[in-house]
Structure 1
């Protein structure tokens, strides 16, 4: 019997369609600006991701084409951000974003928004949208570029990124890198995040990924369920968090569930945190991404 985890009820109101169309228009304008102002890429990516999450509040199963378009635009923007960082300054890189090919200026190296947290978001989006070429592009982003952002992160995150890149590129040392990532999540050694965030949001995806690698369907399902439950508990712990769009979708667990789904693993959880039509790739091939 499927396990169900309900998200906090959300009332979209009577004018939700018009409001979403307005949000989509503002987001598209931000996307257009990156060709002239690549230093705004970080804010633009945040805007596209927020728009994708907002669509899922109104469309919990992601059954509307506009929801899929929003998720694809977020995926395209995140990947383009790192393509821009990898391109030499003074050049442009052609990126498809929101149905149009855009000549994005090369940033020629790290900047404040090319950090490891942004990379993880971009990677999860590429998995959810099943875009293998972008996954390969992201897997080839050097760790030095992520470190060069100057952002403060626990050291585990670089081992986590390294493990995911190694997995996708089928490189060597995956086990050791994953162990290093696990070791780095020890709450006693945290410097930049609190124990609650680590144990409830940051650590669970590592455990889910490990269970995916071991090909133990029962343990994978158990850890995925736990990750979604912890996500729910964290983002509903108080009124401020409950109103935060970051909790609308369990991004990392969703991406890992997509990997498992595509590998033929059974997913027994039913929840708005893992939108059904993103999980089962219902929209794949609807338009070029």
Structure 2
């Protein structure tokens, strides 16, 4: 069964007017990491915002500049964990935005948390970066938990089981089903999770789609993906303010899972992706730009 999920558009004229300025600011932000990596998390979120803006102007990601913005966001988010994995004060060479940057390792910091890990993971998945993906999956969940605690950041307990499920799946380790089941259980507000509509419309749909992908159930995956995209649109159009929020341009987790399903079909022809949506940028989804330049 084929699904077609409509998307809403974020129409901000200033984005078009400042397109070149955003590209220049992205380069400046990335260059600033060479002076100090302590604000790396802020740099990562800013660079990702520029990538989101690029998608409002180029919804299919058909322009090379959009892919450059997208891969730069992936590289900076993954650099957070490269810097956290190395001994504090040592030099780490990171490829970011067409250049190799020599950065100073921070050791685990407040930004070494489950939220940033998830963004880094899904971005790496959409960029088909197997090396970075596996490195993230080797990153200890206990370090994510402790870093968040030291930074005064509170995450629902489900987040750590969600990370563990994804790590186990990628590395083909035991525990995927168990961690996923626990994550779904703990993300239920009736079990004490905080987050309201975010849990029902943004968090659970990702887990549900992944459950069916991991189980190899193509029909159920497509249904869950379509439901998730619909819920994403519902959440981000519930108020006029949300409808203009840049976070509503693309559901990163669902896009990443759709990319996984698209690629899985290349080796398992019986597993097909039957969902189309403006929320799934065509040239990111089909990997059309992958390999265009070194990342």
Cα deviation, 1:66-116, whole Å, max 9, x if unaligned, reads 01001100110011111001110120111000011111111122x222210
**Alignment match, 1:250:** 251
Kindly indicate whether the alpha-carbon contact (under 8 Å) linking 2:186 and 2:193 is maintained by their aligned counterparts in 1: no
Q: TM-score, normalised by structure 2?
A: 0.93
Structure 1: segments with no counterpart, 5+ residues? none
Matches within 5 A, 1:1-289: 2-11=2-11, 13=13, 16=16, 18-109=17-108, 111-147=109-145, 148-150=147-149, 151-194=153-196, 196-264=197-265, 265-289=271-295
Stretch moving more, 5-14 or 150-159: 5-14
Cα deviation, 1:34-85, whole Å, max 9, x if unaligned, reads 1211111111110111111111111011100001001100110011111001
CA RMSD of aligned residues (A): 1.5
Q: TM-score, normalised by structure 1?
A: 0.95
How many angstroms apart in 2 are the aligned matches of 1:10 and 1:186? 30
How many angstroms apart in 1 are the aligned matches of 2:44 and 2:15? 26
Cα deviation, 1:159-184, whole Å, max 9, x if unaligned, reads 00011111111111221111111111
The alignment partner of 1:45 has SS state of helix
Q: Does the C-alpha gap of structure 1 residues 286 and 92 become closer, same or farther in structure 2, counting only changes over 3 Å?
A: same
Instruction: Report the count of equivalent residues.
Output: 286
Kindly indicate whether the alpha-carbon contact (under 8 Å) linking 1:79 and 1:122 is maintained by their aligned counterparts in 2: yes
How many angstroms apart in 2 are the aligned matches of 1:286 and 1:33? 26
The alignment partner of 2:92 has SS state of strand
Q: Does the C-alpha gap of structure 1 residues 239 and 85 become closer, same or farther in structure 2, counting only changes over 3 Å?
A: same
Structure 2: segments with no counterpart, 5+ residues? 266-270
The alignment partner of 2:179 has SS state of helix
Kindly indicate whether the alpha-carbon contact (under 8 Å) linking 2:242 and 2:248 is maintained by their aligned counterparts in 1: yes
How many angstroms apart in 2 are the aligned matches of 1:52 and 1:149? 26
